[in-house]
Amino acid sequence: MRTAKGQRATGLRICGIRTVWDTVGDGEFFCPGCGGDRNYQRLTGRHRLTVLGLPLLNRGSAGPVVECVACRAHFATDTLDRPTTTRFSAMLREAVHTVTLAVLAAGGTTSRTVLETAAGIVRDAGLDDCTQEQLFTIVEVLAADTGPGGTAGPAAEACGAALAIELHEVLKPLAPHLAVAGREGVLLRGARIALADGPYSQAEREVLTMVGGALQLCPADTAELLAAAARTPS
Ligand SMILES: [Zn+2]
C-alpha cells in the first residue's frame, strides 16, 4: 500500500485527503507515459480525510487506475484497450496471413507466381517460415472444410464461409489501432497477391472489398485503391 497526500492548511490544523491504493490486478500494457510495453498494476483507492497525518474519515473511493510499474504514472483503465507493441505486431502478422489465405482461396492456388508472391508477403509481415506449400495446404484444407450448400453471401462463398468469419475476427480488432495508411497497406498486400496472375477475378474483387470493409475503409476508397493497384505494375 502506498499513499499520496494532498494537504491544505485550515486555521492551525493541517488537514488533508490521503488516498490509500490497493492492488487488484496486474499485467502487461503499453505505457503512454514512458512509451513501451511495461508491467502495470491495477489499483483502487480509498480517500481518507486526515488531520495531522492521522486518517479519520472515509471520503469515498478513487480509481480504479492503472499504474505503470516502470514510471509509476497513473492512467485511466481504458489505457488497457490499446494492445502492447508485441500484441500489435502479432495482430498485424495474423491479419496479413488471413488476408493472404482469403485471396488465395478466391483466386485459386494453381498459379506458382501467385503462391510465390503470397509466401513472400507473409514472410515480409514477420512469419519467417511461411512457404508456398504451407499456404497451398491450408487453402486446400479450408476449401474442403467449407463444403457445398453454404448460405453466406457471394463474397463469403468466394473465400469460404470460415475464412470470411476469420477475416472479420482478425481485422476488426486491429483496425482501430492502425492508421489509415496501415489499413490500406494490408488491403494492398492482398491486391498484390490477386494481381500476380493478371487482373482481379470477380471472386478476388469481392474478397478484397470485404477486406476493405473489415478494415473500416469506406467502400469508395477501397474501390479506388484496388483500381490504382491494378494500374500500377508490380
Ligand atoms: Zn510508464
| Chain segment 63-113, per-residue pLDDT in tens | 799 999 999 999 999 999 999 999 999 999 999 999 999 999 988 788 899
Q: How many angstroms separate the CA atoms of 70 and 224, rounded?
A: 45
Centre of ligand 1 to C-alpha 127, Å, is 30
pLDDT number for residue 151: 44
Q: From ligand 1's centre to the CA of 30, what distance in Å?
A: 8
pLDDT of residue 48: 85
Q: Which of 56, 81, 66 is nearest to 21 (CA)?
A: 66
Ligand 1 centre and the CA of 69: distance in Å? Answer: 7
Instruction: Give distance in angstroms: CA of 28 to centre of ligand 1.
Output: 11
* Distance in Å, CA 86 to ligand 1 centroid: 16
Give distance in angstroms: CA of 1 to centre of ligand 1.
19
Per DSSP, 200 falls in state P
CA dist 206 and 232 (Å) reads 20
CA of 98 to the centre of ligand 1 (A): 33
- Please name the residues in contact with 231: beta carbons below 8 A apart, sequence gap of 6 or more: none
Dist. CA 112 → ligand 1 center (Å): 48
CA 14 – ligand 1 centroid, Å: 33
Instruction: Tell me the three cell numbers of residue 222.
Output: 477501397
For residue 152, the 8-state DSSP code is S
Percent of the chain past pLDDT 90, that is, above it, reads: 65
Q: What is the pTM of this model?
A: 0.79
121 vs 53, more confident: 121
pLDDT digits (tens, 9 = 90+) for 158-200: 556 777 888 999 999 999 999 999 999 999 999 999 999 999 9
Identify the pLDDT of residue 28. Answer: 97
Rounded to the nearest angstrom, the distance between the alpha carbon of 88 and the centre of ligand 1 is 18
pLDDT band for 2, please (50, 70, 90 cuts). Answer: low
Tell me if residue 225 falls in helix, strand or coil: helix
Measure 37 CA to ligand 1 centroid, in angstroms: 8
Q: 29 CA to middle of ligand 1, Å?
A: 9
The predicted pLDDT at position 146 comes to 61
State what percent of residues in the chain have pLDDT above 70: 87
- Tell me the CA distances in angstroms from 81 to 5, 27, 66, 176, 177, one per residue in order: 29, 12, 12, 10, 10
